[in-house]
Amino acid sequence: MRPLRPLPTLLILGALAWAPVVSADPLPLPAADPPGAFARDRSFDMVRLELEAELDPLAHTVVGTATWTVRRLAPGGLRLDAVAFRNVSASVDGQPVEVVHGRDEFTVWVPAGADGGIGKTSTIVVRYAATPQLGLHWRGPSGNGGGAGSPDTYAEVYSQGELEDNRYWFPAYDHPDDRFSYEGRFTIAGSPKGWTVVTNSGPDLTSYLVMVAAGPYVTVAGPENAVPLRALVPPATPESWVRPVLDPLPDMLTHFATRTGVPYAWGRYDQTFVQRFIYSGMENTGSTIMHERLLSPPSVQATRSYVPSIVAHELAHQWYGDLLTARTAREMWLNEGFATFFAADWQVHELRGREGDAAAEALAAAQVDGWRRGSLDRGGLAGRWYLGGGGATHAGTGLGAANHNPYSKGAMVLAMLRAQLGEATFWAGIRDYTQKHAHSSVDTIDLQRAMEGRSGRDLGWFFQQWTELPGVPKVTTSWSWAAAPTGDGGTLTVDLKQTVPAGESAYALPVDISVDGGVSTKVWLRDEGATVNVPAAQAPGFVAIDPAGALLVDWDQQQSAAAWSAQLAGGAAYSQRLALRALAELPAAEPDALAATFADARAPEVLREGAAEALGTRRTCALLLPALRDPDERLRMAAASALGRCADRGLVPGMLARLSEEPNSDIRSAILRSAAAIDPAATMPVARKALTRRDALEPERAAAAAALGLGGGIGDVPGLLRTPADRDVRLAGLQGAVSIVSRQALGPERERLRATVARSAERLLTDLDLRGIQGAIHALRDVGDAQSAARLEALARATTLPDLRRSARDAITTIGARVDSVAPATPNEADARLDAMETRMKELEAEIERR
Ligand SMILES: [Zn+2]
């Protein structure tokens, strides 16, 4: 899957729902994984699931019959995961049997017979009903499946199984170490006209990869291809918005089949685009679900490189995740690291075809540098999804999912293997691994063995230090050159120092050292320090350490500004990235290599984008403002974002002047964010306009709402609370309104405003989207009152999600500490208060609706 973070549209939501875990020194010990991270012992192999169910998009219920064919492996009952099911009854081979209910599961007793029945196949039929709060996600407009003020435009329902949510809507062995064939048959209550039901019936699924989606979708066929390709999109979606998610698929499929040595394994490939998806995309076998925001108008497609990236990521999962499935969540990097790495690899291949080698290599270097920087957080293990307690948790489940290293560090592990083993060996190892383990579950050791087999090396040290150890090595390097006493030639001396914290051991690091972009030397840094002497006829212009990006290291590479400038001008693609970073931190150098790179029309675009960012970081911004008129949209985007770092109010009028002429809404949103970061007050008039501008897309409206939150006044609050029509943006609006309230001086005016915002937030507590509810709880913590506390208490008691209950109760406590009149209510008091409140709320809601 892909978390929402990469979608700029939804950054704010991501922040609300999953606050990042900040890892602090000293180094956290690897925490024990909580129960659920490992599969439990099992008595049965799940062979086949036939699922027949009626889904009710108004009542949000599922009534189903699950017929499991199972084969006995060991003595014991059949334990099935199921959360909050009702009316459960079961039969085994036609005979009714007892169902023993436990917490979030139940056990069916399967007669074993006198011989123990090992290897015997049985058919278990389970009838049940449920009103799932996870696993199935319901969407619907007000009065048609959605609560008052729902921002959805049509009713639909879709599933999201990963990690462990399918157990909310069908009884499952809900661990990824079992594979079965699946057939789903669904009916929709009320038989709504024009609905399509998508499910991924087929062989060889694991529980979390079973999917269903149902709604009034329009089907758009993909390009002619051996594997049929379809997109199911919201009604009235222009075809031009759909092409970017369909047209690259044949090339991606060919590329991945070549790289992996295994053709696409499933009979067809569907992508269903749904409202307010909780992730960017989810790779259900043969049938991905995507966020509808990936469908974009042509006016912004040039600046949304994340769209093909996410399409490629989910498609790559059809191999890594679906065909080879990480055996437990601890091995998650074998899914996510691979999908991230392969999506990037396709993007490089695609760019090579369009723009040639230099552009492709610059992109590949930027990707590796991005993964390296994204992995510097010392808290994470590539090999583990769970962080255990303490971190933010996956919405609703209580499971820690804040460790993003399976993506960045996982991809970096593959990049290191590729650079250290060489292209041919690496890809041969990947093909061996993929061919050998297709249609099964995998552990890291399977990949290690495949790579060892091809390279003839023992890679135990490599896999241990990169996939099991937390943290990243820190290495300082410096160099000097001395002429020989004879005056003939000289010696280059390179010093490497590894900082090894007390109680930890040093990493083993094969470090490449390249002189002036040419001759290369390898030195093994196995402990705290190493010194290498290289004969060099004259003083080098620059010395590039790890020029190919073969190491995940937190570098402190020391050389002069002139040397860094020379490295930027003449180094290999990855050394150029390191030079960009170094120069960004240095005071302006003459001649300014960053400015020269940014201005060089022949340089690869991705390098020029990096130069823009570095110029912004260094606050050398003279070139960035005129670049807002560059004909190249991606450069305009890079300049617009970089300007936000410049902290120069003098730039803001020029930035804002550009807004009215900029045709790309995403670039306008970057300009708006940057301008608001520098000078909120000056940005207010254009932010107000952007909030209601007709051709503004969600990112621009969200940027406007965030800007108004920074610099707006009382008069902006009604506009911010009216944003519900913009779906996801409404949380940005609510947050903006909360910020404005918090800035007002105490008094009756503030009190009136606070109550208005609180009433508006309370309406969101009935949202169909968990993030809407979490956003409302977050807002009510800051602006809620006695009435809000009662609403939160009702929510806490109604929900089956421990996480939601916890945050609601936390908010009540915070409100109580702020407002004297909120005492912890007894259940009866709260009920009485709620009844009275209900009537009043209806009036208030109607009032807000009228505004
Ligand atoms: Zn993924």
Please determine whether the domains at 1-30+286-471 and 474-551 fall in the same fold group of CATH: no
Q: How far is the CA of 140 from the centre of ligand 1 (A)?
A: 27
Q: How far is the CA of 315 from the centre of ligand 1 (A)?
A: 9
Looking at residue 80, its amino acid is L
Residue 800 CA to ligand 1 centre (angstroms) = 27
CA 42 to chain centre: 32
Residue type, 846: A
CA 163 / ligand 1 centre spacing (Å)? 12
Closest residue by Cα to residue 662 from 645, 639, 644, 685:
639
Cα–Cα distances in Å, from 530 out to 12, 526, 533? 45, 8, 10
Cβ–Cβ under 8 Å, residues 315 and 385: no
Instruction: With residue 9 as reference, give the H or E element that holds it.
Output: none
Candidates 564, 551, 624, 573; CA nearest to 591 is 564
CB 775 within 8 A of CB 764: yes
Interval between CA 406 and ligand 1 midpoint (Å): 9
* Packed helices 405-421 and 357-374: angle between N→C axes, nearest 10 degrees: 130
Q: Which residues pair with 102 in a beta bridge?
A: 105
75 Cβ neighbours under 8 A, 6+ residues apart: 43, 112, 116
Distance 2 CA to ligand 1 centre (A): 4
The Å distance, Cα 173 to ligand 1 centre, comes to 22
**Which H or E run includes 52?**
strand 44-56
Q: Classify 346 as helix, strand or coil.
A: helix
Number of Cβ within a 10 Å radius of residue 129: 14
Q: How far is the CA of 307 from the centre of ligand 1 (A)?
A: 14
pLDDT of residue 487: 80
Angle CA 352–358–362, to nearest 5:
90
Which residue, among 678, 690, 746, 687, has the nearest Cα to 712 in the 3D structure? 687
Strand 490-499: give its sheet, edge to edge: 529-535, 490-499, 474-483, 554-557
- Cα(335) to centroid of ligand 1, in Å? 7
**Alpha-carbon dihedral sign for residues 7, 12, 15, 16:** negative
Bridge partners, 532 (sequence order): 494
pLDDT tens per residue, range 622-652? 899 999 999 999 999 999 999 999 999 999 9
CA of 371 to the centre of ligand 1 (A): 15
Q: Which of 292, 260, 547 is nearest to 419 (CA)?
A: 547
| 749 vs 740: CA distance, rounded Å | 12
- Expressed in angstroms and rounded, the spacing between residue 332 Cα and the centre of ligand 1 is 9
Ligand 1 centroid – CA 3 distance (Å): 8
Structural tokens at position 675: 């301008």
Indicate the SS3 state at residue 164. Answer: coil
Please report, for residues 617, 653, 677, the alpha-carbon distance to residue 648 in angstroms, rounded to integers and kept in the order given.
12, 11, 10
Cα(55) to centroid(ligand 1), Å: 27
- How far apart CA 479 and CA 491 sit, in angstroms, is 10
Give the Å distances, CA to CA, from 105 to 142, 156, 170: 34, 27, 11
DSSP state of 1: -
Following DSSP, what letter does each residue of 834-850 receive, concatenated? HHHHHHHHHHHHHHHHH
Strands annotated E in 378-454: 440-442
Backbone angles phi, psi at 316, to 5 degrees: -60, -30
With CA atoms as reference, report the closest residue to 209 among 130, 157, 258, 266: 266
CA-based end-to-end distance of the chain: 40
Separation of CA 304 and ligand 1 centre (Å): 18
Is the sign of the CA dihedral 751, 754, 760, 766 positive or negative? negative
Domain limits, the chain: 1-30+286-471, 474-551
Q: How far apart are CA 458 and CA 478, in angstroms?
A: 31
Q: Is 481 helix (H, G, I), strand (E, B) or coil?
A: strand
CA 181/CA 179 separation, integer angstroms = 7
CA 352 vs CA 49, 360, 411, 603: distances in Å: 44, 5, 20, 15
- 823-834: buried (b, 16+ CB within 10 Å) or exposed (e) per residue? eebeeeebeebb
Maximum distance among all alpha carbons in the chain? Answer: 97
Tell me the CA–centroid distance for residue 475 and ligand 1, in Å. 31
Which amino acid makes up residue 17? A
Question: Cβ distance 680 to 707 under 8 Å?
Answer: yes
Contacts for 216 with CB less than 8 Å, ≥ 6 apart: 154, 156, 192, 194, 195, 196, 235
Q: How far is the CA of 181 from the centre of ligand 1 (A)?
A: 23
Distance 283 CA to ligand 1 centre (A): 7
Handedness of CA 758, 762, 767, 773 (dihedral sign): positive
Length of the chain: 851
CA of 78 relative to ligand 1 center, distance in Å: 31
Q: How far is the CA of 289 from the centre of ligand 1 (A)?
A: 12
Q: β-strand 287-291 against 269-274: which pairing, if any?
A: parallel
The whole-angstrom separation of Cα 584 and Cα 561 is: 10
Rounded to the nearest angstrom, the distance between the alpha carbon of 28 and the centre of ligand 1 is 26
Reading the block at residue 850, the tokens are 């009228």
Cβ proximity of 490 and 537 under 8 Å: yes
Distance CA 343, CA 356 (A): 18
Extended beta strands in 57-161, E state: 61-72, 78-81, 85-92, 95-97, 99-102, 105-108, 121-130, 136-141, 151-159
User: The tokens of 757 are what?
Assistant: 């915002």
Distance 317 CA to ligand 1 centre (A): 7
Q: Give the pLDDT of residue 591.
A: 64
Pair type for strands 287-291 and 281-282: antiparallel
- Given this model, what pLDDT does residue 815 score? 96
Residue 41 burial class via C-beta count within 10 angstroms: exposed 0-12, middle 13-18, buried 19 and up: exposed
Between the alpha carbon of residue 447 and those of residues 221, 333, 438, 570, the distances in Å are: 36, 12, 12, 36
The answer as to CATH 1.10.260.40 being correct for domain 1-30+286-471 is: no
Distance 407 CA to ligand 1 centre (A): 8
Ligand 1 centroid vs 330 CA: distance in angstroms? 15
**Ligand 1 mean position, distance from CA 8 (Å):** 17
State the distance from the centre of ligand 1 to the C-alpha of 182, rounded, in angstroms: 22
Chain-centre distance for alpha carbon 113: 49
552 CA from centroid of ligand 1 (Å)? 21
* 208 Cα to the center of ligand 1, angstroms: 13
Q: Which amino acid is at 808?
A: A
pLDDT along the chain (851 residues), means of 10: 48 28 37 61 95 97 98 95 96 96 92 91 98 95 85 94 93 95 98 97 98 98 97 97 98 98 98 94 98 96 96 98 91 93 98 97 98 78 46 37 72 97 98 98 96 97 88 94 90 96 90 92 93 93 97 96 95 97 82 91 96 94 95 97 95 95 96 96 95 90 94 93 72 93 92 95 91 93 96 94 92 90 50 53 51 44
Q: How far is the CA of 339 from the centre of ligand 1 (A)?
A: 6
Domain 474-551 coded CATH 3.50.50.60: no
- Output the pLDDT for position 689: 94
